[in-house]
Amino acid sequence: METSVDQDGKTYSRFWFIFTLLVGTFTMSISQSSLSTAYPTLMRSFGILADTVQWLTTGFMLVMCVSMPISPWLLNNLSFKRMFILALALFDVGTLMIVFTPIQLGEDGFWFMMIGRVMEAFAVGVLFPSYQSVLLEITPKDERGTTMGIAGLVMGSALACGPFVSGIVLKFFNWKALFIFFMIVITVIIALAQTGLIRDVMARHETHLDWLSVLLLLGLVGLMKVIDQIGKKNVNWSLNGVVLVVSIIMLVAFIGRQFKLTTPLLELRVLFTFNYDLAILLTSISYIALIVTTIIFPLYYQGVLHVSPFVSGMSLVPGAVFLSILNPLTGKLADKIGFKPTMLLGMIMIVLGWVIGTLSLTKLNLGVMIFAAMIIEGGNAFVMMPAVTLGANSLPNDLVPHGTAVITTIRQVLGSTGVAVSTVILTSVTQIALGKGLSHQLASLKGYHSVFLVMVGVEVMGLVLACLIRNSQKK
């Protein structure tokens, strides 16, 4: 079994290090997408409306986006082992709060649960870019594609498996069992990390934390909150317009400050590298395809094909399995034939999947749509993590933590924007068609057709960008 040397000069098993790291991160990642299946149950338990319960996902996303850019500073100022265990412990404490949420308090109890959810989100946001930086650091450059392909299981599979896992748990237990499951796994991982499976593998360069930069980062919260309001009914756009303007000013000030500081919180000069910029756009476009698939396809299954929520959730499994199988293989392929041909193949698959879906909408065939989703998710395996690796290979080693933080944050923002825009298109086109006297099914089909056509256009743009990738030898 292959061994490496940590910062203290002691050998450790790279296999068990990566295994422990990925199992912990995978479990935390599932929590990001697992709650949508439990919404109806939670609404009944707390006596709350849909727009309130959605804060469990919206709030999670907002906090996660803010904590992601802080991860490079934490990697530079804490040993990775301490940072990893603290992040998992914070997640565990937040989950424990959720498990002990007093349901009898109604909506007040829900907001107690929300505090625990925020703690979970902060831990996930800090760890998500960090684990990618660490994997890139401990892996030789010519093996990075393979390692990051395995890491892609965390990103893609967790997102796709979340609704499936929660659907299975909720079929046999109450909603708290889902969080008890998370807590048990994370507690085991903390115990394993304490035994020495997780080591301090990153060189530290201690710096002062620029609190003003952290404060300005809250502009991301405002931006993401406004994006989340797109397409919803009875939105106060006067207030949201002010929030949007203030948020943009804060983010512009944050960007300007990073270029002035000697040791910025987030080194944005990474954006001056051509291949790195392509990597950001490609990983974001593939992520949009993945997250829209996991949200729009189940809506089509339930709203047009009239299948049960359980069948709808199970219909996501083939795509998730295909993605999981391909991720390690695509990493090896990128190491052997290069990133450009690998990502070109992936973008062709994603475009083809959306085209098949577009042409098959009116056939009302569940099997064909599952096949289209599989092609889209399979193509994602050829693009998302290879793009992250391409971006890292385009940067000096000391900038890789900043590069992964930037790329992960932008991907999250653009992915959320993609979902919001898709939802607006679906709702608006459907309402217009209903106004013209079409039946609900025909109107819905027009809405889905418009969403699929837009996604085809977005992914074709990704295919063009993949053609622009340059040779990525590190200088």
Q: What is the pLDDT of residue 36?
A: 66
Q: What is the pLDDT of residue 471?
A: 62
Domain identity same for 168 and 225: no
Is 432 in contact with 354 (CB distance < 8 Å)? no
Boundary of a domain, candidates 243, 264, 285: 264
Q: What is the pLDDT of residue 474?
A: 40
Q: Identify the domain containing residue 419 by its residue range.
A: 269-475
CA angle 134, 137, 143 (to 5 degrees): 110
Domain identity same for 189 and 62: yes
Would you give the DSSP letter of residue 141?
G
Chain length of the chain: 475
Q: What is the pLDDT of residue 269?
A: 84
**Residue 307 backbone phi and psi in degrees, to 5:** -90, 165
**pLDDT cut 90: percent of the chain above it:** 16
Domain identity same for 203 and 216: no
Would you give the DSSP letter of residue 139?
S
Q: What average pLDDT does this structure show over 129-146?
A: 76
Domain identity same for 334 and 273: yes
11 three-class SS: strand
Domain identity same for 241 and 202: no
Domains contained in the chain, number: 3
Q: What is the pLDDT of residue 475?
A: 38
Distance between CA atoms of residues 15 and 226, nearest Å = 42
Q: Read off the pLDDT band of 163 (50, 70, 90).
A: low
Q: DSSP readout, 205-237?
A: ------HHHHHHTTHHHHHHHHHHHTT-SS--H
Mean pLDDT across the chain: 83
3: β partners: 13
Read off the pLDDT of residues 170-215 as tens digits, 9 standing for 90 and up. 777 788 888 888 889 899 999 988 887 787 777 777 778 888 888 8
Q: What is the pLDDT of residue 457?
A: 93
Q: What average pLDDT does this structure show over 10-28?
A: 82
pLDDT at 154 over 80: no
Task: Say what the pTM is.
Answer: 0.79
- Residue 359 one-letter amino acid: L
Distance between CA atoms of residues 444 and 342, nearest Å = 36
Domain identity same for 202 and 217: no
Nearest to 294 by CA among 457, 436, 159, 100: 159
State the CATH number of the domain containing residue 281: 1.20.1250.20
Q: Read off the pLDDT band of 157 (50, 70, 90).
A: low
The residue assigned the tokens 């593939």 is 286
Boundary of a domain, candidates 239, 264, 289: 264
12: β partners: 4
- B/e letters for 331-342, b = 16+ CB within 10 Å, e = fewer, are bbbbbeebbbeb
Domain identity same for 202 and 214: no
Boundary of a domain, candidates 264, 289, 305: 264
Domain identity same for 385 and 346: yes
The residue assigned the tokens 């512009």 is 252
Is 84 in contact with 21 (CB distance < 8 Å)? yes
Read off the pLDDT of residues 238-258 as tens digits, 9 standing for 90 and up. 888 898 999 999 999 998 998
- Burial class for 380, CB neighbours closer than 10 Å (0-12, 13-18, 19+): buried
Q: What is the pLDDT of residue 462?
A: 92
Domain identity same for 4 and 66: yes
Q: Read off the pLDDT band of 6 (50, 70, 90).
A: low
CA angle 100, 104, 107 (to 5 degrees): 90
Read off the pLDDT of residues 395-443 as tens digits, 9 standing for 90 and up. 887 788 888 888 888 888 888 788 878 888 888 888 888 888 888 888 8
Domain identity same for 149 and 220: no
Read off the pLDDT of residues 347-388 as tens digits, 9 standing for 90 and up. 999 999 999 999 988 888 888 999 999 999 899 889 887 888
For the chain, report the end-to-end CA distance as a whole number of angstroms. Answer: 31
pLDDT at 148 over 60: yes
Integer angstrom CA distances of residue 412 from 61, 142, 391: 8, 28, 16
In the numeric block, which tokens belong to residue 221?
């919260």
In the numeric block, which tokens belong to residue 50?
């849909």
Nearest to 319 by CA among 386, 369, 254, 388: 369
4: β partners: 12
Domain identity same for 305 and 387: yes
Q: What is the pLDDT of residue 155?
A: 66
In the numeric block, which tokens belong to residue 248?
């943009």
Distance between CA atoms of residues 79 and 86, nearest Å = 11
Cβ neighbours of 93 (radius 10 Å): 14
Read off the pLDDT of residues 324-349 as tens digits, 9 standing for 90 and up. 788 778 877 877 888 888 889 999 99
Q: What is the pLDDT of residue 473?
A: 44
Domain identity same for 290 and 409: yes
Distance between CA atoms of residues 2 and 198, nearest Å = 15
Cβ neighbours of 3 (radius 10 Å): 11
> Positive or negative CA dihedral for 199, 204, 209, 215?
negative
266 three-class SS: coil
Read off the pLDDT of residues 71-94 as tens digits, 9 standing for 90 and up. 888 888 888 888 889 999 999 999
